[in-house]
Amino acid sequence: MARGNNGTRRPKPNLLITGTPGTGKSTTASALAEATNLRYICVGDLVKEKNLHDGWDNEFGCHIINEDLVCDELEDVMVEGGNIVDYHGCDFFPQRWFDRVVVLRTENSILYDRLTNRGYSGTKLSNNLECELYQILLEEACDSYEEEIVTALQSNKIEDISNNVESLTEWIRTWRP
């Protein structure tokens, strides 16, 4: 829902850019933030910087995010509006925070190359490839937000990044409080 706590519409929209790791969230979200002057929030970095986690998960090789701490940390800026949030999950954020939810999608062979270049192997690699193959993030987004605010965008080629940034910039530009 596009309404803040005071019942008025936010002056600037909040967007969530989600998708399997490697689909291009941080590349797309940071380019979009630069093009629009909105605030870029990388939840993964925030978790590390502010210790919003419950330790390290050896099996998955990542921090165990504390979702309540993350939501508390972000509440004020999200109510204010004008944020582009990047995270490979979306079901624990309050639904009212987002005006648009973008799920980036990448073909498996391309994602395989990106993730192996990043040093992923074994279970971590196969879990992420399966996550993309079974559209886990798209389903999570559709289950968590109103259908009309969720959009899946392809992120296979470099041109996809500029096209996606351009169309989202236009959407942000025409946003009216």
Ligand X SMILES: Nc1ncnc2c1ncn2[C@@H]1O[C@H](COP(=O)(O)OP(=O)(O)O)[C@@H](O)[C@H]1O
User: Closest CB to ligand X belongs to which residue?
Assistant: 24
Token pair in block for residue 157: 């080629």
158 is a contact residue toward ligand X (CB under 6 A): yes
* Candidate list 134, 157, 162, 177; residue touching ligand X; CB under 6 A: 157
d(CA 121, CA 56): 18
- Whether 7 has a binding-site annotation, put simply, is no
Work out how close the CB of 94 gets to ligand X at its nearest, in angstroms, rounded to a whole number: 22
Distances 77 to 30, 106, 174 between C-alpha atoms, Å: 17, 30, 21
- Whether 124 has a binding-site annotation, put simply, is no
Nearest to ligand X of 26, 135 (CB atom): 26
73 is a contact residue toward ligand X (CB under 6 A): no
Nearest to ligand X of 66, 154 (CB atom): 154
Work out how close the CB of 64 gets to ligand X at its nearest, in angstroms, rounded to a whole number: 18
Token pair in block for residue 50: 């502010």
* Candidate list 13, 16, 22, 136; residue touching ligand X; CB under 6 A: 22
63 is a contact residue toward ligand X (CB under 6 A): no
The 10 Å Cβ neighbour count of residue 171 is 16
Pairing of strands 62-65, 53-57: antiparallel
Work out how close the CB of 149 gets to ligand X at its nearest, in angstroms, rounded to a whole number: 20
d(CA 112, CA 133): 11
The 10 Å Cβ neighbour count of residue 104 is 29
Strand partners of residue 84: 15, 40
> Residues at the annotated binding site for ATP?
22, 24-27, 118, 157
Would you list which residues are annotated within the binding site?
A: 22, 24-27, 118, 157
The residues of the shown chain that bind ligand X, judged by CB under 6 A, are: 19, 21-27, 114, 155-158, 160-161
